[in-house]
Amino acid sequence: MGRFKDISPSQQGWIHDLAKAEIHPDAERLLQLGGSVDPQQAVEESTVDFLTGLRDLLQDHARAFNAFSEAGQKYQEVKIYNTTQAAADFMLFRNQIKLVFTNPTHGVIQISFAQHTRSVLAPGAMVVDGQHSHAQASGPGTSQSQDLLAQIGPFRDVFWTFQGEKVTPDQVAKFYFAEFTRATRDSKRTRPGNHLLLEQIKALLQEKGIDL
């Protein structure tokens, strides 16, 4: 019984449906419930769940990251906004750059990095001194994107993939949040020889207990 308590309400839905079918078996046959799963509906529901999970995780990451900014005095905070495309779509915004998560078509979640971007947000890209080694500067209004694709498994479960590999909301949120903060870092703060940069290095060393 204790094991059942560990199951979240969202995971109990199918059990509830089975119980209703036991009580009203004729209604199940009439409505053709339980015998088959509509793949399109399953993917649509999974899309909303995945995007919602991503947003929740990114909000947590942004909240923790912004807590160190001292209300924007140390660096610009990351903001998260809804977009108008669909209910679950949203974007990250900082320093005039946005990272948009959308569902442009069935079974696809698109991650679009737009405006004044200097890097391609792709897993495996090498970052050197805050810049991706293969990055090329892009002008205002440009957009670079990657797609997550839905697949239906052998037991009618829906999972999401990137470049053929299965991914989770936690993996996606962690990777893209880190890339977004690096790509949107204020260039004035990272310029070599900049006085502010020296002050930042000094502050970091002091936080580690190293006296100067």
Q: Are residues 131 and 183 in contact, defined by beta-carbon separation less than 8 angstroms? A: no
Burial class for 9, CB neighbours closer than 10 Å (0-12, 13-18, 19+): exposed
Residue 15 lies in a domain: no
Q: Residue 109's pLDDT is what?
A: 97
Torsion of CA 140, 173, 146, 10, to 10 degrees: -130
CB count in 10 Å sphere of residue 10: 7
pTM value is 0.68
pLDDT at 188: 61
Residue found under tokens 């998560």: 101
Residue 59 lies in a domain: yes
Confirm whether 80 is domain-assigned: yes
Whether residue 86 is contained in a domain is answered as yes
Spell out the per-residue pLDDT of the chain, length 212, in tens: 445 555 555 567 778 888 888 888 776 666 555 555 688 999 999 999 999 999 999 999 999 999 999 887 899 999 999 987 677 999 999 999 999 999 999 999 999 988 744 555 556 553 433 444 333 333 334 457 899 999 999 988 999 999 999 999 999 999 999 999 999 998 665 555 556 666 666 677 777 666 65
Q: Is residue 20 part of a domain?
A: no
Q: Is 54 in a helix, a strand, or coil?
A: helix
Residue 165 inside a domain? The answer is: yes
pLDDT at position 73 is 85
Strand runs labelled E in 61-162: 79-82, 90-94, 97-105, 108-114, 127-128, 131-132, 143-152, 158-162
* Number of structural domains the chain divides into: 1
Residue 3 located in a structural domain: no
Residues 6+ apart with CB under 8 A from 103: 47, 51, 85, 86, 88, 89, 109, 110
| Predicted confidence (pLDDT) per residue in 23-79, tens digit | 887 766 665 555 556 889 999 999 999 999 999 999 999 999 999 998 878 999 999
Q: Is residue 19 assigned to a domain?
A: no
Dig out the tokens for 22 from the structure.
């036991």
Range of the domain at 166: 38-207
